[in-house]
Amino acid sequence: MDVEVSVNNKPPIQPKNNEDKVQSPWVEALQSFMKNKIALVGTGIVVFFILLAIFAPFIAPQGINEQNMANRLQAPSAEHWFGTDDFGRDIFSRVIFGARISLWVGFLAVMGSAVVGSLLGIIAGYYGRWIDTIISRIFDIMLAFPSILLAIAIVAVLGPSLQNALIAIAVINIPNFGRLIRSKVLSVKQEEYIVAAKAVGMKNNRILFRHVLPNSMAPIIVQGTLAIGTAIIEAAALGFLGLGAEAPNPEWGKMLSDARVLLIQAPWTMIFPGIAIMLTVLGFNLMGDGLRDALDPRMKN
């Protein structure tokens, strides 16, 4: 007669809560980001300036080009929170509308450099050989020049304007994205799923856009966020040198340039545009650092 021996009569252990379930890496990164208080402060600053730019026509108390010579160089007061400039224009209104220009330049320039740089970096890292050599040498040549000097040279050739400043800022940031994505692709293409895709005869274009690019998005997002702050500074620098936005556009760098002769007589004409630049760049840097900590596995405990 067969005898059945029960080794363990306990029922199988069930997960007690959702913590035992596997989460998406993006969900896990979002949760990690939400726990970073400094990153949330930076995000709050960025959102504040974005909302300020969107609702500028409803927030600004006066027109950006509304001149009143009787009120020129008025100190900050209840009527003019940030004072007035040498044409009697309300600085608070001009700073608010200046957020539109600076954010517009920052987002579009970084978007353009991210797209072009990422494509070049993916091609160089995936195909290698002479293609990688040519693209990498182009990046090295561009990085050999100080970024602001290269931007000045590009604007000098194209002509001073806000659009040409945007193009220049996009061009000088291409190598940063290209080299970053190239290094990521060099490691991703050695993964087993990429080798398996090649083994079953999947075309290179499909491998690049369905496997390589999605798995390289994390560094692009982090670099893009940090690059927006840098692009805003570069746009302000070009505007300060008279190579960016032209009068009477209320671009922050141009406002600083116009007010530099009034630093002693009316310091508020430079202080408030400078604070706007500082806070916006600080917000993007804090948010970018938080995204890096959340998306980089090496930064996790």
Would you state the pLDDT for residue 112?
92
Per the model's pLDDT, the better-predicted residue between 224 and 31 turns out to be 224
pLDDT tens digits for 57-114?
888 888 788 887 878 888 888 888 888 888 888 889 899 999 988 899 999 999 999 9
pLDDT tens digits for 18-59?
444 556 766 777 777 788 889 899 999 999 999 999 998 888
pLDDT tens digits for 175-187?
999 988 888 888 8
User: What is the separation of C-alpha 14 from the centre of its chain, rounded to a whole number of angstroms?
Assistant: 44
Nearest-angstrom CA–CA distance, 126 and 188: 9
- pTM for the complete prediction? 0.82
Lowest mean pLDDT among 65-74, 163-172, 205-214: 205-214
Band (pLDDT 50/70/90 cuts) for residue 243 is: confident
The superfamily in CATH containing domain 46-64+79-299 is MetI-like (1.10.3720.10)
Backbone φ and ψ of 187, nearest 5°: -85, -35
Per domain, the residue ranges of the chain are 46-64+79-299
Would you state the pLDDT for residue 4?
47
Average pLDDT of the segment spanning 180-198: 79
Nearest-angstrom CA–CA distance, 287 and 44: 9
